[in-house]
Structure 1
Amino acid sequence: MINIREATIDDLEYIVNFNSLLAQETEDKELDKKVLTRGVKYLLENEQYGIYHVAEKENKVVGQVMYTFEWSDWRNGLFLWIQSVYVDKNYRQQGVFTRLYNQVKSICDKNDNIVGIRLYAEKENDIAQQVYTKLGMNKCHYDMFEYEK
């Protein structure tokens, strides 16, 4: 059985480790562990910026999802932006991400101030895109741009 719950400060080490693995797997990027730890800790202590949920199976944290908030003046409501999705390699294809996504979707569906869910995916990550489509998400017509300091 997979249990989904809101992350606590006790999950800090798991989340830091998963985020580090995520960066390595998706972008072949090595993150500064001190900066990453401070960033995760800050979010866990400041929910107005975002919230982590973790998946547990057999009392072990096996996956995570984080969402942040984007105000939409066009829709007069919030979008939840899914980020930092990671499922332990040993627990993939067992419904862990589906349960994590459904938790976020449930939060969205129950709150009239939340108008939708968004996420971005690497263009080459066909598997993730297929999963998102299967869960009922649609590909947007936007391209993403960024400035990173």
Structure 2
Amino acid sequence: MEGTTTAKRRIDGPARELSASKELSEGLKTWRDRYPDLVNCPIRDVLDQLGDKWSTLILVTLGGRPHRFGELRREIADISQRMLTQTLRDLQRDGLISRHVFPTQPPSVEYRLTPLGQTLLDPLAGLIRWAETNHREIGRARRAFDAVRTETD
């Protein structure tokens, strides 16, 4: 009986994509109705933070284990100290990470995902897989666009 339930839930690739696309389309219609002015839109509010250049990298890094500031800086080599500090504060403010100070000399600080931050790992994993799968195609599209734009300028 358990196998039957699993089989009923299983959807093949194209049908699943169509279903997800329809669900997203329906959700966007509802979203537009609920937040026509965009001022109080939770999607925009949340994704503004997550869509920045560094937040996703920091969250994924902390998804493996807690890190100290210097470890994060080494893992994400091209982030400046100022930007790392600010992004950590923003993620902490949003409740996605927590900061733990240990009473050592000098004090050491560790950052880790909160339970809320942990819930973001699965959706981020899907987005990361999508980016890895489609990066080459996006690069080709960018080059084609830039070539046409250069010709018309």
Q: Tell me the TM-score range normalised by the shorter chain.
A: under 0.3
TM-score (norm 1): 0.28
As a proportion of its length, which structure holds more helix?
2
Q: Name which one, 1 or 2, has greater alpha-carbon Rg.
A: 2
TM-score (norm 2): 0.27
